[in-house]
Amino acid sequence: MSLIAPLNFLFAALLGAIVLMYILRLKRKERVVPSSLLWQSAIRDLQANAPWQKLRSSLLMWLQLAFVMLAVLALVRPALRVLASGGQTVAIVIDASASMQANDVAPSRFERARGEANRLVNALSSGDSGTVIAAGAQTRVLAPLTSDKNVLKRAIAKATAVDTGSDVREAIVLASSLLKDKKNAQIYVLSDGAFPPLQEMSVGKSGLQFVKIGSRSDNVALTALEARRGYSEENRAQIFATVANFSTRAKKISLELERDGDLVEVRPLELPAATKNSVGELAPGQKSVLFDNLRFESGQFSAKFDLKDDLATDNLAYARLDPPRPINVLLTSDNLFLEKALNIDPNVRLFTGAAQSGVAYDVVVCDGSVPANLPASNQLVFNTFTALSPVEKLGVVAQPGVADYDRDDPVTRYAPWNDLKFAQSLAVKLKPWGRALVEAQNTPLIVAGERGGKRVIWCGFDVRESDFPLRVAFPIFITNSLRWLSAPRGSSLNEGSALRAGQPVPILAPQGAREVSVTAPGGGKEKVAVRDDEATLYEGASRVGVYEAKSGDWSQNFAVSLLNKSESDLTPRAALQIGEKGAVQSDNRARANRELWGFLVVAALAVLGIEWWIFHRGI
């Protein structure tokens, strides 16, 4: 039991006042009379009202003390922590992410969370109200704030888990805004806590409870899968996969690689058990595998393993590699370093000098200067500026060194960027549509951008005044740049990387199509409008599997995967860090304060009624 307003115990001083009233009696004036025979009753009354008389037991006094005691107890608002809610406005946030599909609790974590949500709704009193919010890739209000329990239960029944991460912070912020200015507001977060740490936030005056769902983390997962063409003349496909073991026991699996449904290769793997690092966090045991020397240039690749663990969604991943495309490249300078690097890719048709009429260039490479008749193509720019450059000049920086780079961008990945030396570089600031790929201490060195349907990669240095052409990073960077710059409009920025569930998927709709029908793995269909002025994006890929986009006789297949370490780590969290409230400790069941003051008030009124009846009956 807890006391919500313990300072009201100060009213207990009234108990002493009642007792004092029974000790202090009415003081009367003395009178001398010749005989007391006729005054016996008066003498008895005088004795009874003598001041500071010895306290005698009185039923009325005890009833009055009991009344005051019950009233004081009601004022301090005692409450019991019970497995129910009531007398309040509640927001039920259900984590609908991939980890909630784990079956370590029967039938699954998500079903357990739905059962807990239904129990909270059943515990609402007639005057209470609630709302239901699902936290998945997108936050959805399943039921608005209502006192109709049937509406809340129907919303909970329609809730479904998805194969994505969850934005629980956004769901909590939304819940706090819905409960703003509501009395006794309470937010219940039903989750396993398998999401990145929450940023600082405020929930206002609302209470917050974290109801932990889940019991263990016995899971093995594919956490990375990429398909790429090698940099050799044969351009054969290479598949890179990472498998992580989040269990405390070592695991043995057979990793299978398939192409377009046909088995290509099987690799046996022994995965070490997960261990805790210095800060107490679980570090999975993992291994990476490279399937190389494959005879394919393209295809829909998938990696999977057959293992009975707590989550099946992350045991399969997909990555697509499109057929190589011929790339027409115009080099406007006589830089031999660039010419040699541009010729590495066998799909590149290199033109040098001035632009030729009748040739459609996919990429124009400007080195130190910009020709007068610059074609309207995608650009790779060195040590100069064009109208398409995503930067503005500030000055010059001498001997800049690489301070950081984007390890996940398709332009900079696979290349070692450490210890490069440059004589100087142009100092610039980014335009709103530019993104820095490689940065020095004081300025970006390489910047990418896309504007008006054209792509550009800007480099602020002269390659001849650096050791960049002598490093292995140089040909990798040039090949990556050409492949990204020449990719069709609307194609994935990470071509060859697996598409992750919850991310927008670009659809290369045919010319003239006004609408595309997308069929999900479960059979559901969704219409997507095609716009001529921008890429068509499908944002409903929330399930792992293969999707099909169709428009007339045209069709396009794509597949999405989970590949999310936070979701694959099924360890139930012990607390949530929520802004100024600090660590919100978890509980296995949703609990609320069941206040007892109402019962005490009823008891106090009953005692007062008995006291009034006894007084008037003269007992």
CATH class of 499-561: mainly beta
Q: What is the DSSP string of 177-192?
A: HHTTT-TTEEEEEEE-
For the chain, report the end-to-end CA distance as a whole number of angstroms: 38
Q: Cα separation of 213 and 92, whole Å?
A: 14
Is pLDDT above 70 for 594?
A: no
Residue 468: what are its φ and ψ, rounded to 5°? -60, -45
Q: Minimal CA–CA distance to 19: which of 73, 76, 62?
A: 62
Helix axes 109-122, 149-158, angle to 10 degrees: 180
> What is the model's pLDDT at position 418?
87
Beta-strand relationship, 207-212 and 185-191: parallel
For tokens 């398939």, name the residue. 258
* 191-241 pLDDT, tens digit each: 998 877 787 777 878 888 889 999 999 999 999 998 887 766 566 788 999
The token duo for 611 is 């006291």
Is pLDDT above 60 for 572?
A: yes
> What is the model's pLDDT at position 547?
93
> What is the model's pLDDT at position 492?
47
Between 1 and 435, the higher pLDDT residue: 435
Cα–Cα–Cα angle for 388, 389, 391, rounded to 5 degrees:
140
**Which H, E and C letters describe 370-426, residue by residue?**
CCCCCCCCEEEEECCCCCCCCEEEEEEEECCCCCEECCCCCCCCCCCCCCCCECEEE
Cis peptide before 107 (omega within 30 of 0): yes
Instruction: Specify whether the CB–CB gap between 592 and 206 falls below 8 A.
Output: no
For tokens 């019970």, name the residue. 82
Residue 2, beta-bridge partner list: 79
CATH architecture of the domain with range 225-303? Sandwich (2.60)
Give the helix/strand (H/E) hosting 256. strand 251-259
| Order of strands, sheet of 139-146, starting from the edge strand that comes earlier in the sequence | 139-146, 129-135, 89-95, 185-191, 207-212, 583-587, 575-577
Between 425 and 557, the higher pLDDT residue: 425
Q: What is the DSSP letter of 495?
A: T
CATH architecture of the domain with range 327-485? 3-Layer(aba) Sandwich (3.40)
Alpha carbon distances (Å) from 566 to 38, 97, 100, 194, 603: 97, 10, 12, 6, 53
Cα-Cα-Cα-Cα torsion 602, 606, 609, 614, nearest 10 degrees, comes to -160
> What is the model's pLDDT at position 468?
95
> What is the model's pLDDT at position 271?
95
Q: Which of 167-176, 547-556, 605-614 has the lowest mean pLDDT?
A: 605-614
Is pLDDT above 60 for 590?
A: no
Is pLDDT above 60 for 84?
A: no
Confidence at 36, pLDDT banded by 50, 70, 90:
low
What count of other Cβ atoms lies within 10 Å of the Cβ of residue 79?
A: 16
Residues of the chain with pLDDT > 90, as a percent, come to 50
Query: Hey, which CATH number is domain 84-215+572-590, 3.90.1150.10, 3.40.50.410, 3.40.630.30, 3.40.50.150?
Result: 3.40.50.410
Q: Minimal CA–CA distance to 101: which of 172, 166, 155?
A: 166
Q: Minimal CA–CA distance to 52: which of 21, 29, 76, 82?
A: 21
Residue 258, beta-bridge partner list: 263, 302
H helix intervals, 415-537: 473-485
* 371-405 pLDDT, tens digit each: 988 999 999 999 999 999 999 999 999 999 999 99
For CATH 3.40.50.880, list the domain ranges present in the chain: 327-485
> What is the model's pLDDT at position 518?
93
* 243-289 pLDDT, tens digit each: 999 999 999 999 999 999 999 999 999 999 999 876 667 789 999 99
Beta-strand relationship, 220-229 and 282-283: unpaired
Q: Cα separation of 311 and 217, whole Å?
A: 9
Cα–Cα–Cα angle for 403, 409, 413, rounded to 5 degrees:
75
Q: Cα separation of 585 and 193, whole Å?
A: 11
For CATH 2.60.40, list the domain ranges present in the chain: 225-303, 499-561
Between 511 and 524, the higher pLDDT residue: 524
Q: Cα separation of 289 and 432, whole Å?
A: 39
Taking only Cα atoms into account, the Rg of the chain, rounded to an integer number of angstroms, comes to: 37
